[in-house]
Every structure is written in C-alpha cells, then in structure tokens.
Amino acid sequence: MRQALAEQPHCISPKFFYDAAGSALFDRICELPEYYPTRTELALLDRHAEEMATLIGPEADLIEFGAGSATKVRLLLAAMQRPRRFVPIDISAEHLQGAAAALRRDHPGLDVHPLAADFTKPIQLPPMADGSRPQRVGFFPGSSIGNFSPDEAVGFLRQAAELLRGGGLLIGTDLVKDPALLHAAYNDAAGVTAAFNLNLLTRANRELGTDFDTRQFAHYAFYEPRLQRIEMHLVSRRTQTVRLGSERFQVMEGQTLHTENSQKFTVEGFRRMARQAGFTPGTVWTDPKQHFAVHWLAA
Ligand code: AVI
C-alpha cells in the first residue's frame, strides 16, 4: 500500500481484495444478475462434465489453483471415476480448510490434500502416499487468469505446463463481447462490486492503520476496448491526505487508485498464449451466446 500511495499512477494488486469480507462480497458478485461469468461457466461444466472427465482421465491427481470454496470442481469430481487426489491450492488457509472438510464429507474415498500457498510462485506438490505419479490435471476456473497482467499470465501458464507435464489444464476464460454487457457486470445495480472495490480501503485501515475515508472515494469500472479489459479504480472525490504510519500522502481530486484489471480473451488469442507457454490447446467449450470459454490445454 505504501508503494501504491507513493508512486504514480497509484496501483495495487487485486489479490488484496480477498480478506474474509472481500471473499464474501465476491461470493455475492457471483450471484448477481449482471455478473454472467459464474453461472455461464457452471452451465458449461455441468453440460460437458463427462467429456471433460474423459480428458482428465479416470485416476488423475487434480489440482485446483485459487480454489476458494471449491464449488465448481464438484461437477468434475462427480463425473470422474476414481480421482486419486484433489489438491486445492489457495492463499487463504482458513477458506481452504473449510472447503477440504466439506469435500471429504461428500467424497469419502477421495484424498483431499489442501495446500495453503501463493500459486503464482513455484509449487512443490506433496508426493502421493503410495509413491505413484498419476496424471496431473490442473483446474483454474472463473477467468481468474484475467486478473494477471499478460506477462504474469504467460509466466503462470509456463509454470503450470511444467508442473502438469503429461497431463493438462482445464481453464475458464471470459470472452471479448459487447462492451455494454461487460460494463454492467462490473457496475451492478445493487452496488456489490462497488462495495467489493471499496473494501480494499477498509481492509487497509484495519490491517495497515491507514485512515482512508471510504466515503471520499468512488467505485469506477470501465471497459477499455483497445486493451480488451475491464479496469477498476477508486477515484478520489476531493484532494485529501491519507496517513500510513508516520507518513502522509496527498491524493488529488480525480486521481485514482487502480485496483484491478480483468482481461477478456478471444478463443484464438488465448490458445496462442497457451501455445507460447508450452501447452497444446485442445477442445474449447463455449456457451451459445459466446460469453465464456473453458479450454482443455494438454501439457
Ligand atoms: C476473480 N475475478 C475473475 C473477478 C473478475 O471478474 O475479474 C473479480 C471481480 N472483480 C469485480 N468483479 C469480479
């Protein structure tokens, strides 16, 4: 946060959205009528689970990146014959333990091995209990890859291709579409996305001791067609000073804190990126309106 306040333009990583309140707000976003990605991806997983399970293989070691509450993977697990192990990886250990306990309850034979880690860093998977090395398949739903910069996205894919060599990655990507639909998805009528964005300041006040006045910042999200991405910002409603420890930073009226990019992809553009990272792109499933895509990438 210090860097975000001290440097211009003011930018902060979207990973700081996800404290307990932010994660709960994100769960509410997923239910919003305007936010089509979650329900569209769920429908794709539901409709094509058998075909996906065939590609995953009958006894795979399934690894979910940024698992959160691990709800979407249930559709895959239900279609798989004998998943050997499920490794949900998430930065929030608390979120993970709850999700793992619920999965163990619902899949008594499944070895659930949660890993509290930052999956953008190199991952060391724990060995299988019996020393075997089953096919590894990654699952990265939600178009969370869109919250990385293009360089970070290729870096993540490269690392995943190494980790999953011999298996594959099932990954969701939000598609380039009518800007009005995109705009609505990040500017919902109920104001939940605005609350999610502003929660970043509330979190900083609680955890870092800043004194942001959240009423003096406005949620601002727009589609940038040239870069094919949504940008989220917090705009300062007036010139104000923000305290961080013993330092004070001036934020001018109209200046923004850039909190998130959400990249949208074309099917071909994403396949190109995957190839560049060492995958062989395979089947792509899209909905009839072409809002969202799930890709199978062979590693
Ligand atoms: C998690 N991620 C894919 C969401 C997105 O759409 O980029 C985060 C989000 N930000 C605002 N609404 C949802």
Q: What is the mean pLDDT of each run of 10 residues along the chain (299 residues)?
A: 86 89 93 98 97 94 89 93 90 84 91 92 89 94 96 97 97 98 98 98 94 97 98 98 93 96 98 98 98 98
| Residue-wise pLDDT tens digits, 142-178 | 999 999 999 999 999 999 999 999 999 999 999 999 9
Angstrom distance (rounded) from CA 136 to CA 59: 9
Q: What is the pLDDT of residue 272?
A: 98
**For atom 7 of ligand 1, which residue has the closest CA?**
262
Angstrom distance (rounded) from CA 76 to CA 62: 10
Distance 142 CA to ligand 1 centre (A): 8
Angstrom distance (rounded) from CA 51 to CA 223: 34
Please report how many Cα atoms fall inside a 13 Å half-sphere around the Cα of residue 267, on the Cβ side: 14
Give the residue, out of 36, 186, 291, with the most ligand 1 atoms within 8 A of its beta carbon, to mutate for a pocket test: 186
Angstrom distance (rounded) from CA 141 to CA 293: 10
Contacts for 267-276: CB closer than 8 Å, 24+ residues apart: 267/175, 267/293, 267/295, 270/173, 270/295, 271/295, 273/150, 273/153, 273/154, 273/157, 274/157, 276/154
**For atom 5 of ligand 1, which residue has the closest CA?**
262
Distance 242 CA to ligand 1 centre (A): 27
**For atom 3 of ligand 1, which residue has the closest CA?**
144
Residues with CB under 6 A from ligand 1: 29, 142-144, 146-147, 186, 193, 260, 262
**For atom 1 of ligand 1, which residue has the closest CA?**
144
- Counting atoms of ligand 1 from 1, which one is nearest the CA of 262? 7
Asked if residue 218 lies in contact with residue 234, where contact means CB atoms within 8 angstroms, the answer is yes
| Residue-wise pLDDT tens digits, 51-66 | 999 999 988 999 999 8
Q: What is the pLDDT of residue 79?
A: 94
Angstrom distance (rounded) from CA 182 to CA 36: 9
**For atom 2 of ligand 1, which residue has the closest CA?**
144
Angstrom distance (rounded) from CA 39 to CA 30: 8
Place of tokens 């007036």: 238
